[in-house]
């Protein structure tokens, strides 16, 4: 399936060109529905067909410039309209999303990048307002931290700026390369995506395009950890092992079988109980913070003691208390968690606080004796299409409570 964290941004990228843009390999998840609504309110015609994994966007000559709080608070990725709106209309009013379950998540780097390009940026009545009535101009930008979101907004703002923009210390995620690839197919001139420095030569205008979303490395990594944690055997069809070099390497070193297949890659546990391992989250290509809750669920049932360190978000440890309810031995110490693996957890009601923690708790429930009831599954629907159906197809005993239908239906 296509990456959530690319598809949402590519929908915003479409704003940069008048006309009809088609995205394929779009995941059937609730977040795409929210982004579709946000774009509709900007005047874009959006046809989202989840069963066909396609979004068709008809972008008019004149678009709005306001992203309402109601939608932005439901979908933080809404902030990705900031760059395209300023570039295209000279003005963006995007609600400030506020903190969430994983951290405070500031926007200072986004604002600084736009200011470097000549926009006037201020926060008024809860909205981040960026104004550049005479257009943006190329500049040198250096991000203090390789933020994914700030890299994206700096890139999408600069493609229509006058002159050349150099952006240093940028994020190198495959999703950044995906955005640059789509922008290039629209006529943008970009060099260096996937490295620490991106150079953009501004162009007058862009044309609509058709683009297939890059495969979801976090979903693929989720299945890898699901296989390792349950001591199962899963082939991740369409998974790109190269985008998961660090986590897959760690699983292999810990005693799991990790192999490439014609269709993707496979993770299996063939003998006994794999070993736990230390994890420290880092920007790509380091261990992804989005897989950290899965590393925790794995370590609490793997053999031995280990330490998980979260370096990107200050509050991304809500999974720990819930895993403790399942009998896990895990203690938080600042931005570290010490785990000591036990062979089997013990089923209990637990609550998911975000997409990844929810999915990780379901996986933990599969290695818990008795029933585990995970509440807050709407979080899981934000990132995984029919998670329980896919798990059942692998032989897992998982059902969805009848009154808990996915949001996008």
Active site residue ranges:
100
Binding mask 15-54 for ligand EPU (x = CB under 6 A): ----------------------------------------
The set of residues, in sequence order, having a beta carbon less than 8 Å from that of 20 and lying 6+ positions away, is: 56, 57, 58, 59, 208
Considering beta carbons, is residue 243 or 356 the nearer one to ligand EPU? 356
- Give me the least distance between CB of 103 and ligand EPU, in Å please: 5
Selected range binding ligand EPU among 10-18, 97-105, 265-273, 364-372, rule: CB under 6 A = 97-105
Instruction: Report CA dihedral (273, 277, 281, 282) to the nearest 10 degrees.
Output: -120
Residue nearer to ligand EPU on the CB measure, 93 or 178: 178
Number of residues located near ligand EPU, criterion CB under 6 A = 23
353 binds ligand EPU (CB under 6 A): no
What φ, ψ does residue 68 adopt, rounded to 5°?
-70, 150
Q: Would you count residue 312 as binding ligand EPU (CB under 6 A)?
A: yes
106, 249, 370, 395: residue in contact with ligand EPU (rule CB under 6 A)? 106
Burial (CB < 10 A; 0-12, 13-18, 19+), residue 280, is middle
Residue 302 or 374: the one with the smaller Cβ distance to ligand EPU is 374
Instruction: State yes or no: residue 103 binds ligand EPU (CB under 6 A).
Output: yes
304 binds ligand EPU (CB under 6 A): no
Three-state SS for 274?
Answer: coil
State the greatest distance between any 2 C-alpha atoms of the chain, in Å, as a whole number.
65
What is the phi-psi region of residue 98: left when phi exceeds 0, alpha when psi lies from -120 to 50, beta otherwise?
A: left
Nearest to 297 by CA among 347, 367, 374, 246: 367
Evaluate whether 337 touches 317 at the Cβ level (below 8 Å). Answer: yes
Nearer to ligand EPU, 104 or 261 (CB): 104
CB of 380: closest distance to ligand EPU in angstroms? 11
Tell the smallest beta-carbon distance from residue 312 to ligand EPU (Å). Answer: 5
- To ligand EPU, the closest distance from the beta carbon of 289 in angstroms equals 5
Task: List strand residue ranges (DSSP E) for 241-358, in order.
Answer: 257-260, 264-268, 279-280, 305-309, 329-333, 336-340, 345-346, 349-351
State in angstroms the smallest separation of the CB of 133 from ligand EPU.
Answer: 24
> Which 65-84 residues touch ligand EPU, going by CB under 6 A?
77
Of the two residues 143 and 256, which places its CB atom closer to ligand EPU in the complex? 143
The reply to whether 225 sits near ligand EPU by the rule CB under 6 A is no
What's the min distance (Å) between Cβ of 77 and ligand EPU?
Answer: 4
**Which residue in the set 27, 138, 149, 347 belongs to the binding site for ligand EPU (CB under 6 A)?**
149
Q: 54, 66, 73, 105: which one contacts ligand EPU (CB under 6 A)?
A: 105
3-class DSSP assignment, residue 103? strand
d(CA 268, CA 289): 23
Residue 39 to residue 257: CA distance in whole angstroms = 44
Locate all alpha helices (DSSP H) within 99-234, ordered by sequence. Answer: 108-116, 148-158, 174-185, 217-229
Nearest to ligand EPU of 280, 342 (CB atom): 280
Q: How far is the CB of 184 from ligand EPU (least distance, A)?
A: 20
Residue 285 found at the interface with ligand EPU (CB under 6 A): no
Nearest CA to 211 out of 6, 400, 68 is that of 6
> Where along the sequence are the contacts to ligand EPU (CB under 6 A)?
5, 8, 77, 103-110, 145, 147-150, 289-290, 312-313, 355-356, 383
């Amino acid at each position: 399936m296509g990456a959530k964290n690319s598809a949402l941004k590519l929908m915003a990228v479409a704003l940069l060109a008048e006309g009809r843009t088609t995205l394929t390999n779009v995941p059937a998840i609730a977040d795409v529905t929210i982004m579709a609504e946000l774009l509709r309110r900007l005047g874009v015609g959006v046809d989202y067909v989840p069963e066909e994994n396609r979004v068709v966007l008809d972008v008019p000559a004149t678009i709005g410039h306001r992203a309402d709080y109601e939608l932005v608070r439901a979908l933080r990725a809404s902030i990705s309209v900031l760059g395209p709106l300023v570039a295209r209309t000279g003005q963006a009013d995007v609600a400030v999303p506020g903190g969430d379950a994983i951290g405070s998540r500031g926007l200072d780097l986004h604002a600084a990048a736009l200011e470097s390009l000549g926009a006037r940026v201020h926060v008024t009545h809860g909205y981040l307002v960026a104004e550049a009535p005479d257009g943006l101009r190329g500049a040198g930008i250096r991000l203090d931290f390789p933020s994914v979101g700030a890299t994206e907004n700096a890139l999408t703002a600069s493609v229509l700026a006058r002159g050349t923009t150099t952006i240093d210390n940028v994020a190198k995620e495959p999703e950044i390369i995906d955005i640059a690839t789509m922008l290039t197919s629209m006529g943008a001139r970009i060099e260096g995506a996937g490295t620490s420095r991106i150079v953009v030569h501004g162009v007058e205008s862009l044309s609509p395009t058709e683009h297939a979303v890059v495969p979801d490395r976090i979903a693929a990594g989720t299945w890898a950890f699901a296989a390792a944690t349950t001591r199962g055997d899963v082939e991740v069809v369409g998974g790109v092992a190269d985008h998961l070099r660090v986590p897959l390497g760690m699983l292999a070193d810990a005693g799991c079988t990790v192999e490439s297949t014609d269709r993707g890659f496979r993770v299996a546990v063939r003998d006994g109980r794999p070993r736990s391992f230390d994890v420290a989250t880092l920007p790509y290509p380091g261990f992804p913070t989005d897989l950290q809750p899965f590393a925790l669920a794995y370590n609490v049932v793997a053999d031995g003691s280990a330490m998980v360190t979260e370096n990107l978000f200050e509050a991304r440890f809500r999974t720990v208390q819930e895993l403790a309810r399942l009998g896990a031995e895990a203690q938080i110490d600042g931005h570290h968690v010490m785990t000591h693996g036990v062979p089997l957890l013990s089923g209990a009601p637990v609550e998911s606080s975000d997409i990844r923690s929810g999915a990780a708790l379901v996986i933990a429930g599969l290695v818990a004796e008795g029933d585990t009831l995970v509440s807050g599954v709407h979080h899981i629907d934000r990132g995984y299409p029919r998670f329980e159906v896919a798990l059942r197809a692998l032989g897992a005993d998982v059902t969805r409570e009848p009154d808990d239908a996915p949001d996008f239906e």
